[in-house]
Structure 1
Amino acid sequence: MPSTILTGDRPTGPLHLGHYFGTLANRVRLQREGADLFVLVADYQVLTDRDVADRLAEHVEGLVADYLSVGIDPAAATIFRHSAVPALNQLMLPFLSLVSVGELRRNPTVKDEISASGQATVSGLMFTYPVHQAADILFCKADLVPVGKDQLPHQEITRLIARRFNERYGPVFPVPDALLSDAPLLLGTDGRKMSKSRGNAIALSATPDETARLIRRAKTDDDRHITYEPETRPEVSNLVRIAALCQDRDPNEVAADIGSGGAAALKKVTIESVNEFLRPIRARRAELDRAELRHVLDKGNARANQVADRTLTEVREAMT
């Protein structure tokens, strides 16, 4: 039986290769297998760890363009904007009554995000972030949620809320399972985790020249013989891995082909592999215009509102 799946991203900048191999390719696969895919543009969640939502409209449209260009089909998937679905946020109130302050404070993902934000103080929204995500997941009665290992504590809060609601008010929600990604972690060009905020990511929307510049400045080491040894040669191995993923080959084979060519040859192969991989994605993106992006969001918002209104009605009836 096909699953209902909720996934999504915060509109804080363009998606990159790490997103593609980590989550986007999996979303496309699940959609093709018949899953009812809900893709959330989490614009409200931008404010969890920052004071203002900078360039939000631009980032929202860019996110939708990224989705469409990698193959998410708006005829089969529901792509919607969080702020356009009021009933979704109304689920927060009954859900907050089902968890304690201590449970939210102990959530390790919240602790990590507070630490990573670099802020001396954070808003209350940061502590309610897991409950916010629970509302995102449960409003459409998702039974499967693709997550990375770092998101498992959030997912467990969602499962906890679903169980407690059902025990207290009757069976309304499925208890969603986590679908763990086995995709390798991609490092950015500076050797740290590839991230939009660090400026070290190869964006899906980058031009061939921008891609080449980013890869040419990537960290390597002094050994001219190229090998794939992630533990001892992380930067070199990361470039090998990126090239291998783009070629759909084993990274050891890619490294063996480069051999003693050194960093210059490695970067040349990686540039060519990434640009060839992104070529059809760039072509699809070039065909999109703002009117189409807005139409996709309008259509997705309308369906998400129908689903959320229906779920909120069920919740109110169960609680009375």
Structure 2
Amino acid sequence: MNTASRTTDPVTSADGSPGALRHDALALSAAAQARSAVLEERLVDDPRQFRVLTGDRPTGRLHLGHYFGTLLNRVRLQDLGVEMFVVVADYQVLTDRDIADDPTGYVEELVLDYLAVGLDPSRSTIFTHSSVPALNQLLLPFLSLVSVAELGRNPTVKDEIAHSRQSSVSGLMFTYPVHQAADILFCKANLVPVGQDQLPHLETTRTVARRFNDRYGAGAAVFPQPDALLSSAPLLLGTDGTKMSKSRGNAITLAADADETARLIKGAKTDADRHITYDPAARPEVSSLLLLAALCQNLAPEQVAAGIGSAGAAALKRTVTEAVNEHLAPVRARRREFAQDRAYLRRTLREGNERAGEIADTTLAEVRTAMKNHY
């Protein structure tokens, strides 16, 4: 797998100053964007050369931000013929909270959302962290390959700590990027769909892979250095005008019914200008609603705005409500159908866990053999 060239290595060469970190982040982003364009062409030409790892933490039902941001892209990759691994990252819930509320229920809700949008267990391996011990055992040798200073410089970890609702965070938060490296490398994924904010985590994974190969590989690449497939997904705001989030209560979930969707959109923040225009900088809340309707109707947001004209926020919200409910109707119908068969959900996870476990056992044995030669 060829990898993108980089002006600097933000994990190994950044001096820790804000200016140097910004320079590294910009260089990393530019390289990833250029590489993603090439990867998109290769995905169409030969999808079977790729293995993708992606997933979510089970902290609540998935919402429209997830749907348009990641879920549709996963289904697209699956349908292209890419080998997909989707992790329900239940262990990672503990990185920023003392206890996970109803972990079993949240895991099943997440799997319901996956199945409803079109992820197919016969083509995508869906599994949970907690059911694959060998995956988690990779964390220790991988941690030995990075320094405390390098983990502390990770800008995504800094941001997560800054926005944590706790007065202090556990050591698991600092190991989060390395745990993600174990998620990706246990199955030797070579492609990871991410947003810009996740690039530092993926760079940690690339660094772990490179250092393991250099230290223990005896000239052979035990692990690939995975590429980022940057998401071009638009940003949807929550109903309160801030980032759409499970924890903020401002999101429309895939499981919401038509009445709940209407209620949430009716309460969405807009502005006082009755003439509806698409202007994300000056009118972020109105523009986010227009974008949501446009995504559901496969139109440009400017087209949706033109159709509403000067009819005001009430007409905008009616348009959005109708578009969302119509678009999600088949997804919600499938979700209700799958929800009636909990045995199928559990079988999906059991079979996914078994397959992921077999692969993780093989990888861990390979790691132990490689490391044993250096003791």
Query: Shorter-chain TM-score: what band?
Result: over 0.9
- Cα distance in 2 for partners of 1:317, 1:249 equals 55
Q: Return the match for 1:305 from 351, 357, 362.
A: 357
- 2:162 is aligned to 115
Q: Which has the higher contact order (CA 8 A, sep 6+)?
A: 1
- Cα distance in 1 for partners of 2:101, 2:335 equals 23
Residue 236 in 1 paired to residue 270 in 2? no
- 2:250 is aligned to 200
Question: For residues 85-130 of structure 1, what are the alpha-carbon distances to aligned partners after superposition, in whole Å with 9 as ceiling and x for unaligned?
Answer: 0000110011000000000011111111111112221111001000
Q: Return the match for 1:49 from 78, 96, 102.
A: 96
Residue 285 in 1 paired to residue 335 in 2? yes
Structure 2 unmatched ranges of 5 or more: 1-45
Deviation, 1:189, is 0.1
Q: Secondary structure in 1 aligned to 2:309?
A: helix
State the AA in 1 paired with 2:244: M
Residue 217 in 1 paired to residue 217 in 2? no
Residue 153 in 1 paired to residue 203 in 2? no
- Cα distance in 2 for partners of 1:94, 1:266 equals 54
- 1:187 is aligned to 237
- Cα distance in 1 for partners of 2:152, 2:166 equals 17
- Cα distance in 2 for partners of 1:118, 1:108 equals 18
Q: Return the match for 1:20 from 67, 76, 84.
A: 67
User: What TM-score do you get using the length of structure 2 for normalisation?
Assistant: 0.85
- Cα distance in 2 for partners of 1:120, 1:188 equals 26
Q: Secondary structure in 2 aligned to 1:128?
A: helix
State the AA in 2 paired with 1:188: G
Q: Secondary structure in 2 aligned to 1:125?
A: helix
- 1:143 is aligned to 190
- Cα distance in 2 for partners of 1:56, 1:41 equals 11
- 2:37 is aligned to none
How many residues end up aligned between the 2 structures? Answer: 320
Deviation, 1:290, is 1.1
Question: For residues 131-186 of structure 1, what are the alpha-carbon distances to aligned partners after superposition, in whole Å with 9 as ceiling and x for unaligned?
Answer: 00000000000000001111111010000000000111112000000011011111
- 1:271 is aligned to 321
- 1:36 is aligned to 83
- Cα distance in 1 for partners of 2:271, 2:169 equals 39
Deviation, 1:207, is 0.6
Q: Return the match for 1:91 from 125, 132, 138.
A: 138
Q: Secondary structure in 1 aligned to 2:85?
A: strand
State the AA in 1 paired with 2:345: L
Residue 77 in 1 paired to residue 120 in 2? no
- 2:55 is aligned to 8
State the AA in 2 paired with 1:282: R
- Cα distance in 2 for partners of 1:172, 1:210 equals 50
- Cα distance in 2 for partners of 1:107, 1:258 equals 45
Runs of 4+, deviation exceeding 4 Å = none
Aligned residues: CA RMSD = 0.6
Percent of residue pairs bearing the same amino acid type: 72
Deviation, 1:286, is 1.2
- 1:130 is aligned to 177
Structure 1 unmatched ranges of 5 or more: none
- Cα distance in 2 for partners of 1:295, 1:116 equals 37
Question: For residues 52-98 of structure 1, what are the alpha-carbon distances to aligned partners after superposition, in whole Å with 9 as ceiling and x for unaligned?
Answer: 00111110000000000000001100000100000001100110000
